[in-house]
Amino acid sequence: MEVIIQPDAAAAARLTARLIADAVKAKPAFNLGLATGATMESVYAELAAMNKRGEVDFSRVSTFNLDEYIGLPPEDKNSYRYYMNFHLFDKINIDKQNTHLPDGMAADEVAEGARYEAAIKQAGGLDLQLLGIGSDGHIGFNEPLSSFASRTRAKPLTPATYRQNSIYFDPPETMPMRAFTMGVGTILDAKRIVMLITGAKKAGIAAKAIEGPLTSMVTGSAIQLHPSVVVILDEGAASQLTMREYYDWVFANEPKWKNYR
């Protein structure tokens, strides 16, 4: 795992976008795993701006999102399909037929999980998975106690997740209590992982995921098992890390990061 600390959230988002764009430029037919949430909006704004300037081409890219609420149609403003269209897909030159999310309206939930897994496999697997992390340490909607071997499935959400996300719903009680999510095992199958964490309120959980013990109570800690992970944080999110000096030394001295400093 490589940990990069940036001065603020905007710089962290820019670096995250640059890493994604450079990966796409190196392999135009790229399979990109995407995440949603407020943290990602700046990343997607950066990618859209880069695309508009001709710095990155998404015409051959395929995307697979981590999750989707169960019971929301794609046109619902709170669905993650709507989020992705609004924040990214409508602003870049991507073929929407190559953008994939679980079907929140699927009649057979077990079959939908299997279908999504098969679609990722048929595409050749994910070249890179973008992740955020929830306040309780979840990745995707892999709530505490999710198995590290789990695959795409329907998952009941915790009260904590409900309280955190229901502010986006009007009225709040219309938020679904269940969602489809890639499993932890599905996420770990990606060839590379980039996790973005910003804000002082995430400092404690960031430290647990990066430096704490492996535990299903913090599903984000599973990234420690992956051979190619970059975690990008701002100063606030990094404030409880114990190995800060080492992380800064690696970023300042490793040749691979020369063009990103």
SS (H, E, C) 81-144: HHHHHHHCHHHCCCCHHHEECCCCCCCCHHHHHHHHHHHHHHHCCCCEEEECCCCCCCECCECC
Q: Where are the beta strands (DSSP E) in the chain?
A: 2-6, 31-34, 62-65, 67-69, 99-100, 128-131, 153-156, 178-181, 193-197, 229-234
Which is catalytic among the residues 136, 211, 235, 248?
A: 136
Q: Check if 67 is active-site.
A: yes
Phi, psi of 194 (to 5 degrees): -120, 120
Task: Find, among 212, 211, 200, 208, the residue nearest to 238 by Cα.
Answer: 200
DSSP state of 30: -
Which is catalytic among the residues 46, 112, 138, 189?
A: 138
> What b/e string do you get for 5-37 counting C-beta neighbours within 10 Å, with b at 16 or more?
bbeebeebbbbbbbbbbebbeeeeebbbbbbbb
What residues have CB less than 8 Å from 11, skipping those under 6 apart?
Answer: 234
Q: Check if 57 is active-site.
A: no
Which is catalytic among the residues 68, 112, 143, 189?
A: 143
Q: Using CA of residue 9, residue 11, residue 16, residue 17, what is the dihedral sign?
A: positive
What gap in Å lies between CA 244 and CA 231, rounded to an integer? 13
Q: For the chain, what is the largest distance between any 2 Cα atoms, rounded to a whole number of angstroms?
A: 53
Q: Check if 76 is active-site.
A: no
Which is catalytic among the residues 67, 112, 117, 234?
A: 67
Which residues participate in catalysis according to the annotation?
67, 136, 138, 143
